[in-house]
């Protein structure tokens, strides 16, 4: 990633990293730092790739919320599933813990169940909505609880509010970028995952600076 010599000075790189962490657009950051917006955008993409390369591998356990969401596009498909022109993303969230996301080709059982089995420890409690793709969880190594959104969004502890909160945060962040090319979406998605899991801006800045310095060695 950093094998070629950057045209940016050390000061410019440090300033761009700060603006990236606080969620600034490349255009705004470039104007303030004094570099072309394309240069800032290219550097931001390098940071996203670096983040994705350093996201830890982990399995979730305990109380897990599962849900899919759709990004981009303007047309909705039937029931919101398989929405035309959109990118489908599956998410798993450990309550009071981390989120894991994966871009998926569809929201069928054959697609979702293997991801759950790979990322979630057996005997965990998995909360979902009533979408039929989750029926297989009823006869799996997990304890399956459903919430019927047509009747209620939460029944005491039976809800998926946590993962839906992540979707809302991710979409608010990504809405700043005036359209994201599909081939770049993975890097933006993993950035959102990193932000959600990583803590406050000070912690994220320290972590990202460390990764950048390590990559330059």
pLDDT at 178: 79
Overall pTM surpassing 0.95 (yes/no): no
What whole-number distance in Å separates Cα of residue 20 and Cα of residue 115?
30
pLDDT at 111: 97
Q: In this predicted model, what pLDDT tens digit does every residue of 42-63 receive, in sequence order?
A: 999 999 999 999 998 889 999 9
Task: Give the neighbor-by-neighbor strand order of the sheet with 87-94.
Answer: 99-104, 87-94, 63-71, 125-128, 143-146
What whole-number distance in Å separates Cα of residue 1 and Cα of residue 46?
7
């Amino acid at each position: 990633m950093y094998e070629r010599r950057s045209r940016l000075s050390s000061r410019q790189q440090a300033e761009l990293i700060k603006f990236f962490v606080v969620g600034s657009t490349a255009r705004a950051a470039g104007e303030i730092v004094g570099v072309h917006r394309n240069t800032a955008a290219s550097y931001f993409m390098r940071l996203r790739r670096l983040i994705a390369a350093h996201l830890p591998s982990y399995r979730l356990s305990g109380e897990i919320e599962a849900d899919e969401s759709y990004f981009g596009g303007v047309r909705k498909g039937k029931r919101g599933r398989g929405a035309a022109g959109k990118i489908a993303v599956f998410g798993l969230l450990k309550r009071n813990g981390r989120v894991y996301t994966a871009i998926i080709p569809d929201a069928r059982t054959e697609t979702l169940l293997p991801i759950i089995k790979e990322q979630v420890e057996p005997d965990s409690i998995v909360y979902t909505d009533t979408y039929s793709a989750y029926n297989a969880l009823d006869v799996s190594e997990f304890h399956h609880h459903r919430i019927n959104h047509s009747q209620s969004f939460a029944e005491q502890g039976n809800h998926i509010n946590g993962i839906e909160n992540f979707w809302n945060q991710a979409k608010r962040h990504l809405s700043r970028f005036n359209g994201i090319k599909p081939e770049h979406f993975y890097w933006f998605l993993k950035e959102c995952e990193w932000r959600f899991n990583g803590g406050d801006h000070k912690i994220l800045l320290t972590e990202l600076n460390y990764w950048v310095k390590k990559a330059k060695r």
